[in-house]
Copies of this chain bind each other. A is one copy, B any other.
Amino acid sequence: MTHLLSLNEARLVLRDLHRGGGSIGSVHTLGALHEGHARVIELAAKENDHVVVSVYPNKAQLAPGTRYAYDLDRDLALASASGATHVIHATDDEMYPPDYGTFLDQGEKTKRLDGTVVPFLFRGMITMCIRWISFVRPTRTYWGLKDIGQTLLVRRAVTDLMIDTEIREVPCVRYRSGIPISSRLLKLDRGALEEIASVHRALEAARTAVAAGERRSDVVLARAREELRLRTFRLCYAKLAEPAELTEPERVPDRGGLIVHFVVTNGVINHFDGFLLRTDEDIEKGPPTIWLEQRFPGDAA
């Protein structure tokens, strides 16, 4: 595996990769890689000749002053073991020089879902995703459905900006308890993790209600909220949304798919979890999911 230490170095290597003609898969991360990233990188490695992974904790999508803790050596080792052929590591100075000044504007959509809780999130996030895609010019680019809004908005931006790449959606990776894998959750104690697990049960309850024929969004969400067992966390929102504009219809749409999305917070960590239900089968059986062996983070495999 090649570790590229600057954008300028990476630019030359990427030109060579493109000249060589092999397919390129890309995975773009904030660092602090975990089993979820590993599964995404593994899929990219299975489907492409080269796998380019970027590691950069994008300051434009983190709360001001946040230091995103990650161990680059550990990230490099995990990326390499998962099949990455090239890892690009960038710094704030490279990514946001003083004269930096271009952001994507996707309008009202970016104020919905996650954007109602963290208003600046999507703008900085989607701009950075597109910057990485523009830089790497991958044949296929891999996005995890842990972050439904991000994946849908990246897909929209790629289509609108006429970038010739295939967006590959990777199912959410979950522990047996239903908790999605996320670096933010690793420090929580078991009690807090039990709270987080109840969010997944709430998503399941919403899905089951829709599968049983309920069409009133408020009734579906009320049914879902009954499953929540929050103590140190509180509910920020529970939403049913449609995937195109991320609006919240009063009735479950008959077509076009459905998002069930919850955010809870303990004042420090905002935990986002959701289902993207594209098909009747997703509604009947649950969305595609990659299940880990362990029941909780930190359990032995």
Contact = CB atoms under 8 A, between A and B. Distances in A.
A59 to B, nearest CB: 15
A141 to B, nearest CB: 14
A11 B104 contact: no
Interface in A16-43: 18-19, 21
B105 A104 contact: yes
B164 A102 contact: no
A244 B134 CA distance: 23
Given A14-B164, A99-B244, A100-B160, 5 more contacts: A131-B160, A134-B163, A135-B162, A135-B164, A137-B164
Contact of A102 (B7, B19, B102, B160): B160
B102 A161 contact: yes
Interface string A105-124: 11101000000000000000
Contacts of A99: 156, 244
A164 B99 CA distance: 18
A101 interface: yes
Given A135-B164, A162-B131, A104 B102 contact: yes
A68 interface: no
6 contacts: A7-B162, A15-B164, A99-B244, A101-B109, A101-B156, A134-B163
Contacts of A163: 134-135
A166 to B, nearest CB: 12
A19 B100 CA distance: 32
A99 B99 CA distance: 32
Nearest to A90: B162
A101 B14 CA distance: 29
Interface of A: 7, 11, 14-15, 18-19, 21, 99-107, 109, 130-132, 134-135, 137, 156-157, 160-164, 244
Contacts of A132: 162
A130 B161 contact: yes
A30 B37 CA distance: 43
Contacts of A19: 21
A131 B164 contact: no
A132 B157 CA distance: 14
A159 to B, nearest CB: 8
A109 to B, nearest CB: 7
A104 B101 contact: no
Q: Which 3 A-B pairs have the closest CB atoms?
A: A102-B160, A135-B162, A105-B105
Given A101-B109, A137-B137, A11 B164 contact: yes
A137 B135 CA distance: 11
A251 B215 CA distance: 65
A104 B103 contact: yes
Chain B CB within 10 Å, residue with most, of A102, A105, A244: A102
Contacts of A106: 101-103
